[in-house]
Structure 1
């Protein structure tokens, strides 16, 4: 993102703030690595570490993870003219897949910057109100798709999974020993929700109201888990307010 928010991502990495998970910090650092590679092209680990204020061991850890995820490629550095002894240094470049995803970061970072402005000027209550307003339309559409689902929470969870999949969440529901489980394999706002968990909390409240029972969010993509997982206990249908939703953080 070519604006102040994007420039802030190039600042040296710092320790996670109180309450922030290591996985969220890792995601933020890898975003900055991606931004540098996008702007500079082929870059050595040493150059990346110096730009981000990271130790050689720390930058290697991030690059190894990005290599494993298929986000970067490593190749020998091209040396023009006389080359000294020893093997040439490795340089890292973005893969085509990672480069193609960079366009979405522009909008993610704009949304993050907007929420930071709301938080500075209106406080956490304003952020919560914004998050609730954003999921209201989603709740209305899913509710319409669940009109024939009946009153059983597990049957409603299955109907909700279908409605969420139609919205791009790649969701599915299953029955487990203690009730049901709703899994979302994609989160359109994961990058933003990593900093503003109010988005996840508002979505969890919507799930609770739609299935008609208390639910418990066990994992979220925004906080480093592979899937957003919501537990739905077996109990009589009753409409819940947002205040009764339980979210269990699984920060690593």
Structure 2
């Protein structure tokens, strides 16, 4: 491999790292990206310009409700829908058809049960690792973000309110195309997060609802004793 080809591969790999970080952390400033990736300001600008021209990211200016004084407000970047991995179109269509047939034959309650079963499966897989993170909901949320990321959700956490609370952000959702038509998927997932973290969480935004990221507010507090899942209740009553 010649030197120019090696340089091109390195450039592409670095650009992919920049894009992945924007997906996970957006809205994020160029300076924060440079610090996180140990890149120069010039290198970050080059990658951001290229990604923006490709339609992978876009600028989200800072809110005018929080002026920074003189000078231009810092740009913050978020990923576009084009940047996120997508479910195979054929798979999405088949899944949507299956859920639609389930609803037509058995009603909306069947769809809710399906969504709850998916959420219960998530709780079952994640519970041990999340509980091992300790009693602090923030620590549990960080562990949950790692687990979600391993499953393709591009998740991260960020403190809010002088570190009194935390937000769990998901830059990608493998089932967001389905959730856009069946919000029960998001509702059950939110319930699963509450069960895992031991506090009442609130979903603030979703990819299925057209936002650039799914955002869940996790308040401070001490986790309570976890309650049985819907699936456990069903087995106990059988």
TM-score normalised according to structure 1 size:
0.54
Aligned to 2:22: none
Aligned to 2:98: 114
Q: Write the distance in 2 (CA, Å) between the matches of 1:186 and 1:144.
A: 24
Q: Write the distance in 1 (CA, Å) between the matches of 2:168 and 2:131.
A: 18
Deviation at 1:147, TM superposition (A): 3.7
RMSD, aligned α-carbons: 2.5
Local SS of the residue matching 1:146: helix
Aligned to 2:67: none
Aligned to 1:206: 192
Aligned to 1:171: 155
Residues 173 and 240 (structure 1), Cα distance of their counterparts in 2 relative to 1, 3 Å cut: farther
Aligned to 1:158: 142
Aligned to 1:232: 218
Deviation at 1:145, TM superposition (A): 2.3
TM-score normalised according to structure 2 size:
0.57
Deviation at 1:240, TM superposition (A): 6.1
Deviation at 1:221, TM superposition (A): 0.5
Q: Give the aligned length.
A: 148
Aligned to 1:35: none
**CA displacement, residues 164-193 of structure 1 (integer Å, 9 cap, x when unaligned):** 111111111122115111001110001111
Determine if contact 2:205/2:214 at 8 Å carries over to the other structure.
yes
Gaps of 5+ in 2: 1-52, 57-81, 231-238
Deviation at 1:140, TM superposition (A): 1.6
Aligned to 2:35: none
The higher radius of gyration belongs to 1
Q: Write the distance in 1 (CA, Å) between the matches of 2:216 and 2:228.
A: 16
Aligned to 1:126: 110
